[in-house]
Amino acid sequence: MLDFMSRDAAICAKREGRVVGALLFSREPAVLCFLAVDDACRRQHIGERMVACMRTFLDPAKEVTVTTYREGVPEGVAARAFYKRLGFAEGRLTEEFGSPVQEFIWKP
């Protein structure tokens, strides 16, 4: 987190002084590296607003990728629906830290 903050690549959502969401990204290539919203605050468009904020730091002409859970994993239902809603399309099936995952890609 500190590493991303030092590169101006960390976004947090705060409510009444409490952090309720965080997003980490990289610019080159444009990758959404981490995203989570406090489970008590989900479905209030906090994740969507953090992604919109991230976009203001990225080249709008370049694609953005994110790696998330594969289909069929219960923990991944929200994330997969969320990325699809935001216009990301399903990409390659890969592995990350030894776990099966899937890339999602947003194209301009």
Ligand X SMILES: CC(C)(COP(=O)(O)OP(=O)(O)OC[C@H]1O[C@@H](n2cnc3c(N)ncnc32)[C@H](O)[C@@H]1OP(=O)(O)O)[C@@H](O)C(=O)NCCC(=O)NCCS
Q: Which residue has the tokens 């989570």?
A: 36
Interface segment toward ligand X; rule CB under 6 A; list 1-9, 38-46, 54-62, 89-97: 38-46
* Total chain residues near ligand X (CB under 6 A): 17
Q: Judging by beta carbons within 10 Å of its beta carbon (0-12, 13-18, 19+), is residue 25 exposed, middle or buried? A: buried
Interface segment toward ligand X; rule CB under 6 A; list 2-10, 46-54, 56-64, 89-97: 46-54
Least separation in angstroms between residue 105's CB and ligand X is 13
The answer to the question of residue 52 lying near ligand X (CB under 6 A) is: no
Write the CB contacts of 7 (distance below 8 Å, at least 6 apart in sequence). none
Distances from the Cα of 63 to the Cαs of 25, 73, 106, in angstroms? 13, 26, 5
Residues in the site for ligand X, rule: CB under 6 A? 35-37, 42-48, 66, 68, 78-79, 81-82, 85
